[in-house]
Structure formats: structure tokens, C-alpha cells
A = this chain, B = another copy of it.
Amino acid sequence: MDASTSVVSEFDLIRTYFTRPTRHAVLGVGDDCALLQVQPNNVLAVSTDMLIEGRHFFAHADPRQLGHKCLAVNLSDLAAMGATPRWATLALALPAVDTAWLREFSAGLFALANRFELDLVGGDTTRGPLAICITIAGEVPAAQSLRRAGARVGDALWVSGSLGGAALALQCAQGAVHLNAEQQTAVNPCLHTPEPRVALGLALRGIATAAIDLSDGLCGDLGHVLTQSGVGATIAYANLPRHPVFHELQHTALEQQCVLAGGDDYELLFTAPSRAQRTIEQLAATHQLPLTQIGMITSADTGLVVRDAQGQRLQVPRSFDHFA
């Protein structure tokens, strides 16, 4: 006898699976609005992401991993802004009430939320094709926010972690690439349970001149920074930190596609003056997270240039676009 099978109403569903005590809210779930107090001298950083079954995740995706991922991609936007996570709302369209699914999904979501003391303060549930929309809000002193427009000529270009793992896992899941079991175990977490670089984003306040999280692929996301900062960049492909499995595969075209244009890595790409190099290396040690200098910011007229180890210019692959 499973008590949860008696859950039928929308309000029971919200109460059972999505209402937890809040830490930072004046008023949480259960009224027309949540009420939130932003600390003096801080501004609110807000972002929203919608994940759709069959588009952002497979049908029958593991619900606990899905709960993690849909919050992780939003936390990653706060990280890229240098903001402290505070609050989120969740809108959820469900084909049916599946209590086992809801239990796992909410467990994955709250496990990650709790690590960052993030409060779920509101939401909406409805029947429909599975869709998950999270809006997240954090706080940051306005002058310390990490914007896309701040990169300057001569800044070094850095990236956290390693690249291409999520894209490789996706290609494997789609049957386009064969990976052995060990390799799959190594890359699957990149795709299904990415780690938002929140602590790094906070540590980069006052150090990075610009930042963005890598959701659509290195070249495409870097392109946003370059456009908004009015600069160009040169990347040394050989310096790019790639997922270790690529060293085993020795498949150059696949590797370039995944590393330069693969989405879903959720690493931070950031720029900083060259004098910050020591400080950033110390951050890498403190956070036990590789931080790699991958290139330099140049003037706008050079655009984005990627060179291989021989100095040859590589073609920049297209990044993911939902409508292109």
C-alpha cells in the first residue's frame, strides 16, 4: 500500500512533492506570489530555462537525474553572472500524475537545491506534454556581476573543467558513436548530471572581466561574449581541455565537433586580465577544478580564430540552435 498513490489533486501534488521549508523567503509556496527580500546593495539576477521531453532530454529519462539537470542549467546561469543562488520557481507540465516519477524528480531537484541553499518558492503544475520550466533568481552586488560585455583586448580567455563530454555522451546515446561501458560511465554524468560552477562564479567576482556558461557550445557561446564586448578572440585548439575519453578515441573530427561546438557542458568561459593568472591558478587549486587558459581576446576585426597545433586555422563548427 503506497500512500502516495492517493495523491490526485494539483494542490496535493504541490504540497507533497514541491513544498519544503524556505530559508530566505518572506513567503514561500502557497500564496498568489512568493515574497522575497533582496539584500541591500545587491541586485537580483534572474534567468529562465525550459526543458522539453524529446528535445532537451530523452523520453523516459531518469527522473532523479532530470530533476538535477533542469535546476543545474539554471544554477549555471547564476554562476556565469557571479550571483549567489537564492530562489527558484518551477512550472511543470505532466502527461499524468506518476507518483514514483514525481518522488524521484523532486528528490533530484531538492538534493541540488539544498547544496546551494536555494529555496523553491513557487510554481505551477498542469497536464500536458512533459515540460519543465524553472526560473531562478540570485543576488550579486551590481558592480561585481560578471557580464558578457566586459571582455577587453589583451584579456586572457579561460575555461573551467573539460569540454565535449556531454556532446560525446549524447552522440553515443543517439547511436552515432560507439563507446565501451567504461567510456559511457565516464561521459554520461557530463550530459545527465552537470555540475553548475556556482562557487567558481562567486570566486571570479572582481577578477573576471566577462563570463558566460557553456550551454550551446564553446564557439557559439564565446561568440556572444565577443559580440557584446566588441572584441575578437584567438583560441589554441591544442590548449583546450577536452574530456579524457577523447584521448582514447583518437577521432579528430568528432573531437573537434564536440569540443568546439558541443552543447550542455555548463562549464564557465571567462576572460581576465593577464595579471590575474596567478590568482586564477590559485582558484583552480582551491576549488579542485581545472581552469585552463585557452586563448586571448583580440580586436574585433580578427573575429574568432581557432588554430591547431601547427598554427593552421580550423573551421569553426556551428553551435546548436533550436530553430536554425
Residue contact A32 to B91, C-beta cutoff 8 Å: no
A64 to B227, CA, bound (A): 32
A311 CB within 8 Å of chain B: no
The 8 Å CB contact of A33, one of B13, B81, B87, is: B81
Given A40-B40, A148-B30, A324-B10, CB of A48 within 8 Å of CB of B124: yes
Residue contact A50 to B213, C-beta cutoff 8 Å: no
Residue contact A44 to B47, C-beta cutoff 8 Å: no
Interface size class of A (residues with CB under 8 A): 35 or more
Q: Which residues of B contact A123 (CB under 8 A)?
A: 48
Residue contact A33 to B9, C-beta cutoff 8 Å: no
Residue contact A10 to B46, C-beta cutoff 8 Å: no
A20 CB within 8 Å of chain B: no
A15 to B272, CA, bound (A): 28
A67 CB within 8 Å of chain B: no
Q: Which residues of B contact A52 (CB under 8 A)?
A: 93, 126-129, 131
Residue contact B97 to A323, C-beta cutoff 8 Å: yes
A91 to B52, CA, bound (A): 11
> Which residues of A26-49 have CB atoms within 8 Å of chain B's CB atoms?
26-27, 30-38, 40, 43-49
Residue contact A8 to B48, C-beta cutoff 8 Å: no
A97 to B188, CA, bound (A): 32
Residue contact A124 to B32, C-beta cutoff 8 Å: no
Q: List 7 tightest A-B contacts by C-beta distance, closest first.
A: A52-B128, A50-B91, A133-B133, A135-B135, A33-B45, A32-B80, A48-B89
